[in-house]
Amino acid sequence: MKQRKDISRIAVFTSGGDAPGMNAAVRAVTRAALAHQLEVYGIKRGYQGMIENDFVKLEAGDVSGIMHLGGTFLQTARSKEFRTHEGRKKAFENLKNHQIDGVVVIGGDGSFAGALAFTQEFDIPFVGIPGTIDNDMYGTDYTIGYDTALNTVVEAVDKIKDTANSHGRIFFIEVMGREAGALALKAGLACGAEVTFIPEIQNEEEELEKFLTKDYKNKQRSGIVMVAEGDRAGGALKLAEKVQKNHPEIDVRVTILGHIQRGGSPSANDRVAATQMGVAAIDALLNNQINVMIGMKNNKIVHVPFSNEVKTNREFNADLLKIQQLINSAY
Q: By the criterion CB under 6 A, which residues form the site for ligand F6P?
A: 17, 108, 132-134, 176-178, 229, 262
- The DSSP result for 74-109, as a single string, is T-----SGGGSHHHHHHHHHHHHHTT--EEEEEE-H
Nearer to ligand F6P, 140 or 222 (CB): 140
Q: Which CB, 45 or 262, lies closer to ligand F6P?
A: 262
- From the CB of 322, what's the least distance to ligand F6P, in Å? 24
Q: Which long-range contacts (CB under 8 A, 24 or more apart) does 141-144 make?
A: 141/295, 141/296, 141/297, 141/298, 142/273, 142/295, 142/296, 143/19, 143/108, 144/19, 144/20, 144/21, 144/22, 144/24, 144/25, 144/106, 144/266, 144/270, 144/273, 144/274, 144/277
Q: Smaller CB distance to ligand F6P: residue 11 or 228?
A: 228
Q: What is the DSSP string of 240-255?
A: HHHHHHH-TTS-EEEE
Query: Which CB, 46 or 223, lies closer to ligand F6P?
Result: 46
Report the nearest approach of ligand F6P to the CB of residue 177 (Å): 5
Q: Are 274 and 24 in contact (CB under 8 A)?
A: yes
The distance of Cα 193 from the centroid of its chain, to the nearest Å, equals: 22
Q: Which residue in 106, 29, 44 sits closest to 75, CA to CA?
A: 44
Active site (annotated) includes residue 134: yes
Q: How far is it, in rounded angstroms, from Cα 20 to Cα 273?
A: 11
Least distance (Å) between residue 329 CB and ligand F6P: 30
State in angstroms the smallest separation of the CB of 239 from ligand F6P.
17
Distance in Å, CB of 179 to ligand F6P, minimum: 8
Residue with Cβ nearer ligand F6P (132 or 152): 132
d(CA 72, CA 44): 10
CB closer to ligand F6P out of 133 and 212: 133
Q: Which candidate, 10, 125, 43, places its Cα nearest to that of 116?
A: 125
Residue 203's CB is within 10 A of a number of other CB atoms, namely 7
- Shortest Cβ distance from residue 184 to ligand F6P (Å)? 10
Q: Helix, strand or coil for residue 138?
A: coil
31 vs 288: CA distance, rounded Å: 19
Give the residue with the Cβ less far from ligand F6P, 106 or 176: 176
Q: How far is the CB of 219 from ligand F6P (least distance, A)?
A: 33
- Residues 219, 137 contacting (CB under 8 angstroms): no
Catalytic annotation, pick one of 18, 134, 147, 270: 134
Closest by Cα among 70, 12, 22 to 46? 12
Name the residues annotated as catalytic: 134
